Structure 1
């Protein structure tokens, strides 16, 4: 593991570098001063830690490194803890901010939080309530309390529609990069929205924000809206599957054959022979047969080109249907649209 530590030379840098080196076995720490181009050559780094007290220099260094390594987790060490300072660091892509007054053991926890891709905020910045959890949540803990959730509901009114969208996607397990792509915004903007959401809901981690989101009617409405608009990220649900490859002319299934699988097209074109329809990447096939009374295929599907597909067994598809309400809503909507399209073709 390679950690880059950017700070002025001296006792502080040497002491923190020693702590960083103890994060896990075989950890290498490379120290640099502000303004040097050397860190930008360390493209294999796993973590960036930066002394944020010289705010102008540290913001410039963090921003430059994030441009070279956009996925690099960054933790800023700060003496001044206030909203404006934290906002400035989050805006340039910093993953977490650590209060220098905290003990060394807390630094280790903060490093592991940002290394895992979560956001770390100083406990001094957050006011926790029994409704959501305890101050340990700021250290990446996930201990929801047994309250009724009223506090989260009361704070939901201060969230903007965009923040609700971001929270809904985060609660679904989407990464910051995926959220940015779906909402057509910068990844740094996603982090700023999540930071604001954490404060509004009085939570300190992505996990606790997801727990709070489950209690918010607006978030549920946003998730339902995505499903009804066919914006569900199927790849998120099927990320555990490896693609299967088919050649042009291969038949996926014949009409009246048993419906034993669901298909998601990643690449290529599939022709549905009996109805004369061709479908491409991002399309689900085989869903109607799963729910038909005799579980039979309603048409023949043939590859019109070389194809790359994700294949889900009928058993796994039904499990997803029962376990993920958003997927179920999406699937019902999809089946309804296709049945309506079949009726329209019949009338012609």
Structure 2
């Protein structure tokens, strides 16, 4: 368990108020800043809670990716102004440990942060209500294939897209598919262009919404693993 917290919020009043409350609950607020650039580089390799008060749902997943790119051991928690299912899913795909709606009362918020500090993932209670109103029929395999074909995604790009859904970084995808990392970067760039999205998280969301499932991800990973085993047998 870690009680070290780096708190980020562009709203100074909100940030300082939350910092004061965290300290009163025996959290060590090491950083209280407007943005992640103010987190000292000396914290790299250190386990800490990165609590990000970010009201924009569109920016939340990118914030998670940016923080983890510099501080891989951080446990990122997004404090959202309101519940947004797509943003929450994107945040967890990007590596977040918690997604908490700001309307939560003080003590439940502290409990949620302590759970994250213990290694648990925390989701808002709004999720239960949202799932209760959603249809789970999902697109048919034919629909998924049609969307992939319409986007002009090649079979290899589809494998890479499935790996993006699984949250793999380029280096892991390259290892899984037995190609160089530069090739994966080319594939990712091509996928983003064809899907008309700006980052890999949005590409993963597109794939999920258009019929690619966990089964597709597992098949891609399994095929890649088979390639690795075959290569290993040769040497």
TM-score, length basis structure 2? 0.50
State the distance in 1 between where 2:102 and 2:20 align: 14
Whether 2:39 is the aligned partner of 1:28: answer: no
Q: Structure 1 regions of 5+ residues with no counterpart?
A: 132-150, 201-217, 235-263, 265-278, 285-303, 305-348
| Shift in alpha-carbon separation, 1:76–1:21, aligned structure 2, 3 A | farther
| Displacement after TM superposition at 1:46 (Å) | 1.9
Contact 1:34 1:61 in 2 (8 A): no
| Shift in alpha-carbon separation, 1:83–1:226, aligned structure 2, 3 A | closer
Q: Flag the structure with larger Rg.
A: 1
Match of 1:18 among 18, 21, 36: 21
Whether 2:226 is the aligned partner of 1:193: answer: no
Equivalent runs, 1:39-54 vs 2, <5 Å: 39-41=39-41, 42-43=43-44, 44-53=46-55
| Shift in alpha-carbon separation, 1:32–1:130, aligned structure 2, 3 A | closer
Q: Structure 2 regions of 5+ residues with no counterpart?
A: 146-157, 178-183, 189-198
| Displacement after TM superposition at 1:193 (Å) | 3.3
Q: Which has the higher contact order (CA 8 A, sep 6+)?
A: 2
Contact 1:79 1:100 in 2 (8 A): yes
SS in 1 for 2:69: helix
C-alpha RMSD of matched pairs (Å): 5.5
Deviations 1:91-127 (A, max 9, x none): 9765543111123344345435655777654443562
| Shift in alpha-carbon separation, 1:32–1:12, aligned structure 2, 3 A | closer
State the distance in 2 between where 1:66 and 1:232 align: 30
> 1:81 — aligned with what?
83
Equivalent runs, 1:51-130 vs 2, <5 Å: 51-53=53-55, 64-82=66-84, 94-108=96-110, 110-111=112-113, 114-115=116-117, 120-124=122-126, 127-129=130-132
| Displacement after TM superposition at 1:39 (Å) | 0.8
> 1:155 — aligned with what?
138
> 1:231 — aligned with what?
225
Contact 1:34 1:58 in 2 (8 A): no
Deviations 1:259-302 (A, max 9, x none): xxxxx9xxxxxxxxxxxxxx97x449xxxxxxxxxxxxxxxxxx
Deviations 1:49-74 (A, max 9, x none): 02213789988876653332144221
| Displacement after TM superposition at 1:18 (Å) | 3.4
| Displacement after TM superposition at 1:15 (Å) | 3.8
> 2:194 — aligned with what?
none
Contact 2:81 2:103 in 1 (8 A): yes
State the distance in 1 between where 2:38 and 2:95 align: 19
State the distance in 2 between where 1:113 and 1:128 align: 23
Contact 2:54 2:79 in 1 (8 A): yes
SS in 2 for 1:111: helix
Contact 1:35 1:61 in 2 (8 A): no
State the distance in 2 between where 1:233 and 1:105 align: 50
SS in 2 for 1:107: helix
Higher fraction of strand: 1
SS in 1 for 2:138: helix
State the distance in 2 between where 1:14 and 1:166 align: 41
